[in-house]
Amino acid sequence: MVLRLSKITKRFGKVVANDAVSLDLARGEVVALLGENGAGKTTLMNILFGQYAADEGFVEVFGHRLPPGSPRAALEAGVGMVHQHFTLAENLTVWENITLGTMPLFGRSLAARGAKARIRDLAADFKLAVDPDALVSDLTVGERQRVEILKALYRDARILILDEPTAVLTPQEADGLFATLRKAVEQGLSVVFISHKLHEVMAIADRVVVLRHGRLAATRKTAETTREELASLMVIGATQSPEFATRPAGPALMTLTGVGTGTDMGGVPLRDVTMTLHGGQITGLAGVSGNGQAALSDLVAGLLAPTAGQMQLAEVQVANWSPRQALAHGIARIPEDRHKTGTIADFDLTENAMLEQYNTEFAHRGWINWRKARVHAERLIDTYDIRCPGPDTRIRLLSGGNMQKLILGRALETDPTIILANQPVRGLDIGAVNYVHTRLGEARDRGAAVLLISEDLDEIMKLSDVIHVISEGRLSPGFARGSIDAAGLGAWMAGDGFAEATHAS
Amino acid sequence: MDVIEILMSASFWAAAIRIASPLIFATLGELVCERAGVLNLGIEGIMVAGAFAGWIAVWAGLPLWGGVGVAMVAGMGFGALHGVLSVLFGLSQHVVGVGITLLATSLTFYTYRVALPEVSTPPKIEAFQVYEIPILSKIPVIGPALFAQTPLTYLAFGLAGALAWGLYRTPLGLAIRAVGESPASVAAQGLSVAALRMGAVIFGSGLMAVGGAFLTMSAFDSFFFDMVNGRGWICIALVVFGAWRPGKALLGAILFAAFDAFQIRLQQTGIGAHVPYQIFLMMPYILSILALVLMSRRASVPAALMVPFNKGER
């Protein structure tokens, strides 16, 4: 037994985040900590790592009790943690981030050469390719995560905690991560893996510990359980995953003809994109992130003007428009990054709920009607089941799922004709995923056109009436539901098929 | 031509280096604070306090280096107060800094009046004398400029090198740079954000006070009320100008001081007779604004500058 958490209880004010949770971990074992958002997974791991002090209970590593509230003690005992939101200094190099705090503070030298050599060795051993001299700000998200793991390995961590490590990774990067973890386990490390993606848990873990509302709900050996059982353990009265049947296409609400965008925005520009969004349909956009999704999304949201081709909104020709005009034309947006562009972290729920209508719906002769705004926020909280202490809560205190529900509610309450849903369920747990999908389905059934952008092929194939694949800024023809399988989409995602399509035309 | 003549004269460069010295101390002090993520607007007041503390200590009978020590300790005291408010309590660094400047300035004037109630002109002390470094000071132009200065000037230059080395070559320096970039990652690596920031603010404030003390103990030999005269604010700009690097900050201080020395000399030439002297006084400031605009485009601000860090908060 390398690690034992005994009856950990942690309260934040009135909220009990962990209620007498116990957990143990053997050498070379991978335990998945599974649970909905707000189930207390991260809190539990932060207690283990010493960032929070438990109100009751204790942590034992290799038979020794850790003093509460000391990351230093946890690090020295051999616990390494990869946080969901990376803790890297961007303006420092990789090796500086990794060696930070590993030497006596008043030591005379950084011994940079030896440190870099050791990092290179570790990187080679664990298949974590990264240049020690690179600035962290120049790295991709996947590379940054490798740096985080190297940080732990550099300190000879024997226990590795990963908090939702795949939330920010592409499927390929996630596979690389799993390869690294298997390597680590071979070398005798033990891993705690926080996730709410069932297929990952089944693929990597030996044992699954399910948390629900801060309590230990169940422990199962992976070999003796199923995804369905785990799903039902995670969510009491598990919400049903919604069914999507094909519907006849409604009127064309938005048409792009031969649209291209400039390169000045950064990212991949669009090339000769032609597509139509029909009312009453969900149009799925499949593709590996960074292939022009951002440009297409910005185009629809009014953030970007086309440099070529035509953009038509029902009957209206659109050339160069603003997000405000987009809103006025009934386009609702669920942005890709709910933290950066979807919400203002230090505004409360009331303010965040009225962000898109503060000067129209909630303004009266230039003054904000706060009473109306508050009522609106309260209605969203009720209708969309946003779990929070109240409309005065700063939105940064909400979990990702609840934040997304507010964004969803804000978008849908305006009764939009076109809904831009960019990665609407990224990082959400099953309950929230089903909820968001159900709501999008209802909006479709009301006659709205939904543009769903996602990297998750399962999601795309389940929801979409029509699927387009985007690759290097080019758009495939639309495939009706059921007319193409994952392998077929994968080929288009890799860029096959575009050449023939060009020849054919 | 007058201008060439000025630029070629040893006395001009010697004056530039002398004027630069207090700026170097204070700029390096501010740089250490900001590298750790704390904007220290107390600098102006801390320089006033340092100028007074060092001078009055020597006047009261302490040796010169003792006076420098007293000034440093006084500065560290105000730095500790700044740290308690801005780091431990996480209050707004702007408000705390301006408050410290007002407090340090008024406390200084108050102490002055209490200590010397009957005096109309402040007494003089035996200030630091020029120490000519053998051989090196005989080099034409550069010699008198760089190697015929007071010991405090040598200390300022040595300090710039020591800080550059310390920040980039030692574990402590790495930790200070990291805490100004990303306190969360420092905490995750088991170091104390509060201790690092407190230490940096206290040490940096001590240096600012020594910069003030240079004015009363090396540049002049007495204390006047408007002695510091905005030098602290110039140093804040010099930190930006130097892109938060000690070497560049040192050059920035010398450049600014050279403009200052230049305009004084220019006033005495033929040009000076035709142009109002206020134009000359303005020159270093206008040029430093211009330089700042050009330089700061590429500068990388410490990412966590002015961002308080509260442990255990979600």
Contacts of B313 in chain A (CB under 8 A): none
CA distance A29 to A13: 34
Paired with A313 in beta bridges are A254, A316
DSSP string, B168-223: HHSHHHHHHHHHHH-HHHHHHTT--HHHHHHHHHHHHHHHHHHHHHHIIIII-SS-
Extents of the domains making up chain A: 3-234, 242-330+416-505, 345-415
Tell me the torsion sign for CA atoms B89, B94, B95, B96: positive
Contacts of A97 in chain B (CB under 8 A): 178, 185
Interchain contact, B181 vs A87, CB within 8 Å: no
Of B171, B172, B312, the CB nearest to A52: B312
CA distance A111 to A132: 14
Chain B residue nearest residue A104, CA to CA: B171
| CATH match for A242-330+416-505 among 3.40.50.1000, 2.40.30.30, 3.40.50.80, 3.40.50.300 | 3.40.50.300
Phi-psi region of A238 (alpha: psi -120 to 50; beta: other; left: phi over 0): beta
Contacts of A89 in chain B (CB under 8 A): 177-178, 181-182, 185-186, 303
Q: Give A88→chain B minimum CA distance, Å.
A: 5
Q: Give A162→chain B minimum CA distance, Å.
A: 14
CA distance A457 to B59: 80
Q: Give A87→chain B minimum CA distance, Å.
A: 4
Contacts of B189 in chain A (CB under 8 A): 71, 75, 87, 100-102, 151
Residue A393: partners with Cβ closer than 8 Å, 6 or more residues away: A348, A349
CA distance A398 to A403: 6
Interchain contact, A87 vs B175, CB within 8 Å: no
Q: Which CATH architecture has domain B2-115+136-295?
A: Orthogonal Bundle (1.10)
Residue A317: partners with Cβ closer than 8 Å, 6 or more residues away: A310, A311
Q: Which amino acid is at B190?
A: G
Q: Are B85 and B308 in contact (CB under 8 A)?
A: no
Task: Record the tokens describing residue B163, joined without a space.
Answer: 């800080």
CA distance A170 to A136: 19
The pLDDT tens digits for A371-425 are: 999 999 999 999 988 888 889 989 988 878 889 999 999 999 989 999 999 999 8
**b (16+ CB within 10 A) / e for B224-256:** eeebbeebbebbbbbbbbbbbbbebbbbbbbbb
Using DSSP's 3-state secondary structure scheme, residue A203 falls into helix
At the fourth CATH level, which superfamily is domain A3-234?
Answer: P-loop containing nucleotide triphosphate hydrolases (3.40.50.300)
C-alpha radius of gyration, chain A, whole number: 24
Q: What are A's interface residues with B at a Cβ cutoff of 8 A?
A: 12, 51-53, 69-72, 74-76, 81, 83, 86-92, 96-97, 99-110, 151, 396-397
**Average pLDDT of the residues in A49-59:** 90
Interchain contact, B178 vs A106, CB within 8 Å: no
- Give Cα A186 distance to the centre of its chain: 29
Chain A residue nearest residue B168, CA to CA: A110
Interchain contact, A101 vs B314, CB within 8 Å: no
Q: Give B239→chain A minimum CA distance, Å.
A: 17
Q: Are B67 and B54 in contact (CB under 8 A)?
A: yes
Contacts of B35 in chain A (CB under 8 A): none
Contacts of A87 in chain B (CB under 8 A): 182, 184-185, 187-189
Contacts of A149 in chain B (CB under 8 A): none
The helices-and-strands tally (H runs, E runs) of chain A is 17, 23
Of B170, B190, B303, the CB nearest to A101: B190
Q: Are A378 and A359 in contact (CB under 8 A)?
A: no
Contacts of A396 in chain B (CB under 8 A): 314
Render each residue's pLDDT in chain B as its tens digit; 314 residues.
577 888 888 889 999 999 999 999 999 999 999 999 999 999 999 999 999 999 999 999 999 999 999 999 999 999 999 999 999 999 999 999 999 999 999 999 999 999 998 888 889 999 999 998 888 888 888 888 888 899 999 999 999 999 999 999 999 999 999 999 999 999 999 999 999 999 999 999 999 999 999 999 999 999 998 899 899 999 999 998 898 999 999 999 999 999 889 888 888 887 777 888 888 888 878 877 887 787 776 667 888 898 888 765 54
Of B175, B300, B311, the CB nearest to A105: B175
Complex ipTM: 0.86
Tell me the torsion sign for CA atoms A405, A410, A413, A419: negative
**Predicted confidence band at A505 (pLDDT cuts at 50, 70, 90)?**
very low
Q: Give A54→chain B minimum CA distance, Å.
A: 12
The pLDDT tens digits for A433-482 are: 888 999 999 999 999 999 999 988 888 999 999 999 998 889 999 999 88
Residue A85: partners with Cβ closer than 8 Å, 6 or more residues away: none
| Residue contacts between A and B (CB atoms, under 8 Å) | 90
Q: What is the mean pLDDT of chain A?
A: 88
Chain A residue nearest residue B195, CA to CA: A105
**Average pLDDT of the residues in A98-125:** 91
Q: Which alpha helices (H) appear in A413-505, and where do they start and end?
A: 430-445, 457-463, 486-493, 498-504
Q: Give A470→chain B minimum CA distance, Å.
A: 35
By DSSP bridging, strand A215-221 and strand A363-364 are: unpaired
Contacts of A393 in chain B (CB under 8 A): none
Interchain contact, B184 vs A87, CB within 8 Å: yes
| Beta-carbon-side half-sphere exposure of residue B171 (alpha carbons within 13 Å) | 16
Paired with A420 in beta bridges are A333, A451
**Average pLDDT of the residues in A291-296:** 88
DSSP string, B249-266: HHHHHHHHHHHHHHHHHH
The pLDDT tens digits for A185-218 are: 999 999 999 987 788 888 899 999 998 888 898 8
Of B169, B171, B187, the CB nearest to A105: B171
